[in-house]
């Protein structure tokens, strides 16, 4: 199984809502990532988890809260988002944080109204 | 910031070879060159990577210049399914992958 599965595929939320994005991989990878991608732009790194510990937070606003419950799961909790947070949110994993290959999910397309 | 530069867009005809260039003039001796591509409505996927020698796999070939300041991703026979954004990334072990704007490849039937 070489898949990274993200749910939901699409999400529409209001600025006062709380929602969560989920990501799962069963490749035994020990590093997991959240990227944000605006339309026609490259993916930008948000967070890195290595061995279930947050190792990198790229100055992401606190309205985004990551969580890694176990080595196979990665969540991104969303609260009080702004319309400019609308984007494709991509999850990725790699063997180790220093791994040479990233495996990406298909992303969650988020719209904040 | 991304350390590589690529053309914004390229066009190819179906069943013809495609050469996608990338410049990485600040590359160090331990930096690898990685290529990822992103098909429409998908996350990026790994294509190939190399250090000094040319590399081949089932998807593509990677030709790295002798001075390592540039490289070329070669798709030997483009298909419509190869239409995507191709990202060239200069990456060192232990660093994060930083994506630049990439090259948008269109494949014409």
Q: How confident is the model at residue B14 (pLDDT cuts 50, 70, 90)?
A: very high
In chain B, what percentage of residues exceed pLDDT 70?
100
Please answer whether residues A86 and A110 qualify as being in contact, where contact means their C-beta atoms are separated by less than 8 angstroms: yes
Min Cα distance B44 → chain A (Å) is 6
The residue among A109, A111, A106 whose CA lies nearest residue A24 is A106
Q: Can you give the pLDDT at residue A1?
A: 65
Q: Can you give the pLDDT at residue A100?
A: 73
Q: How confident is the model at residue A34 (pLDDT cuts 50, 70, 90)?
A: very high
Overall average pLDDT of the B78-105 stretch? 92
CB-CB under 8 Å, A90 with B44: yes
Min Cα distance B95 → chain A (Å) is 7
**Tens digits of per-residue pLDDT, A38-48?**
999 999 999 99
Q: How confident is the model at residue B1 (pLDDT cuts 50, 70, 90)?
A: confident
Overall average pLDDT of the B22-38 stretch? 93
Q: Which of A43, A101, A105 sits opposite B46 (nearest CB)?
A: A101
Please answer whether residues B90 and B24 qualify as being in contact, where contact means their C-beta atoms are separated by less than 8 angstroms: yes
**Tens digits of per-residue pLDDT, A69-107?**
999 999 999 999 999 999 999 999 998 877 678 999 999
Q: How confident is the model at residue A58 (pLDDT cuts 50, 70, 90)?
A: confident
CB-CB under 8 Å, B49 with A100: yes
**Tens digits of per-residue pLDDT, B32-72?**
999 999 999 899 999 999 999 899 999 999 999 999 999 99
Strand ranges in B1-109 using DSSP code E only, listed in sequence order? 9-13, 18-23, 32-38, 45-50, 55-56, 61-64, 70-75, 84-91, 103-108
Q: Can you give the pLDDT at residue A90?
A: 98
Mean pLDDT of chain A: 93
Q: Can you give the pLDDT at residue B93?
A: 80
Instruction: Report the distance separating Cα A96 and Cα B100, nearest Å.
Output: 23
**Which of chain B's residues have a Cβ under 8 Å away from the Cβ of A48?**
96
Instruction: Report the distance separating Cα B32 and Cα B92, nearest Å.
Output: 6
Q: Could you write out the DSSP letters of every residue in A12-28?
A: EE-TT-EEEEEEEE-S-
Instruction: Report the distance separating Cα B48 and Cα A16, nearest Å.
Output: 43
Please, which residues bridge with residue A48 across strands? A33, A56
Q: Can you give the pLDDT at residue B37?
A: 97
Beta-carbon contacts of residue A63 (< 8 Å; ≥ 6 apart): A78, A79, A80, A81, A82, A85
Overall average pLDDT of the B10-32 stretch? 94
Q: Can you give the pLDDT at residue B92?
A: 85
Nearest chain B residue to A90 by CA distance is B43
Q: Residue B19 above 80 pLDDT?
A: yes
Burial bucket for residue B42 (CB in 10 Å: 0-12, 13-18, 19+): middle
Beta-carbon contacts of residue B74 (< 8 Å; ≥ 6 apart): B17, B18, B19, B20, B60, B61, B62, B63
Min Cα distance B42 → chain A (Å) is 5
CB-CB under 8 Å, A4 with B46: no
Burial bucket for residue B20 (CB in 10 Å: 0-12, 13-18, 19+): buried
Strand ranges in chain A using DSSP code E only, listed in sequence order? 4-7, 10-13, 18-25, 31-37, 44-50, 53-57, 64-70, 73-79, 87-94, 103-104, 108-112
Mean pLDDT of chain B: 94
């Amino acid at each position: 199984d070489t898949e990274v599965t993200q749910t939901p595929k699409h999400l529409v939320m209001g600025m006062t809502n709380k929602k969560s994005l989920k990501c799962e991989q069963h490749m035994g990878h020990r590093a997991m990532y959240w990227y944000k991608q605006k339309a026609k732009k490259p993916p930008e790194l948000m967070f890195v988890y290595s061995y279930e510990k947050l190792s990198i937070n790229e100055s992401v606003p606190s309205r985004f809260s990551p969580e890694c419950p176990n080595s196979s799961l990665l969540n991104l909790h969303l609260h009080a988002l702004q319309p400019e947070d609308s984007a494709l949110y991509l999850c990725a994993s790699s063997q180790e944080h220093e791994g040479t290959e990233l495996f990406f999910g298909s992303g969650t397309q988020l719209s904040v109204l | 910031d991304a350390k590589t530069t690529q053309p914004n867009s390229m066009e190819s005809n179906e069943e013809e070879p495609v050469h996608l260039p990338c410049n990485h003039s600040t590359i160090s001796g331990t930096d690898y060159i990685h290529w990822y591509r992103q098909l429409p409505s998908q996350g990026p996927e790994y294509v190939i990577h190399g250090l000094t020698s040319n590399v081949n796999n089932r998807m593509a070939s990677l030709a790295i210049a002798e001075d390592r300041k540039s490289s070329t991703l070669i798709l030997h026979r483009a298909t419509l399914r190869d239409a995507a954004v191709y990202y060239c990334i200069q990456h060192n072990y232990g660093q994060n992958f930083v994506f630049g704007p990439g090259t948008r490849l269109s494949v014409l039937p």
